[in-house]
């Protein structure tokens, strides 16, 4: 089991990673974040993506999709991929991993696989 700091470092080792954050979607605050030093403001991303996660969860509630959980949310930009992965462990409820990737350097399928593995091993 990995602690949040180790999990964030593992996520930054994913090919094409430009930033990662562990976010509390109750408050919208990043509990931890790492980046490659570029222009991506992870605190702004954490707050903004919190709204997205909350909206999707409300929509699922209205659609009576109670037997489903969000595996991940993918946002594709012209030069980046943004992955949002809500934690499903008992201690991770209310948190999500946010990973931003360079579209030209990342393998999206591999990144999703690696982020799923990191999430499964994360102990909060």
pLDDT at 92: 75
Angle, alpha carbons 12-18-23 (nearest 5°): 70
pLDDT at 5: 93
- Residue-wise pLDDT for 20-74, tens only, equals 999 999 999 999 999 998 889 999 999 999 999 999 999 999 999 988 889 999 9
Q: Could you tell me what percent of the chain has a pLDDT over 70?
A: 98
How far apart are alpha carbons 3 and 97 in whole angstroms? 13
Q: Could you tell me what percent of the chain has a pLDDT over 90?
A: 81
Mean pLDDT of the chain: 93
Angle, alpha carbons 43-74-41 (nearest 5°): 15
How far apart are alpha carbons 99 and 111 in whole angstroms? 9
Q: Which fold has domain 4-121?
A: Beta-Lactamase (3.30.450)
Angle, alpha carbons 75-34-116 (nearest 5°): 50
114, 89 Cβ separation under 8 angstroms: no
Instruction: Indicate the pTM of the whole model.
Output: 0.93
């Amino acid at each position: 089991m990995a602690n949040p700091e180790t999990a964030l470092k593992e996520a930054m080792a994913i090919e094409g990673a430009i930033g990662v954050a562990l976010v509390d979607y109750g408050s919208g605050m990043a509990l931890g974040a790492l980046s490659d030093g570029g222009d991506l403001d992870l605190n702004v991303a954490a707050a903004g993506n919190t709204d997205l996660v909350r909206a999707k969860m409300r929509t699922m509630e209205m659609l009576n999709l109670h037997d489903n959980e969000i595996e991940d949310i993918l946002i594709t930009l012209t030069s980046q991929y943004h992955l949002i992965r809500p934690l499903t462990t008992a201690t991770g409820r209310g948190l999500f991993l946010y990973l931003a990737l360079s579209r030209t350097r990342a393998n999206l399928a591999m990144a999703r696989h690696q982020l799923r593995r990191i999430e499964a091993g994360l102990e909060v």
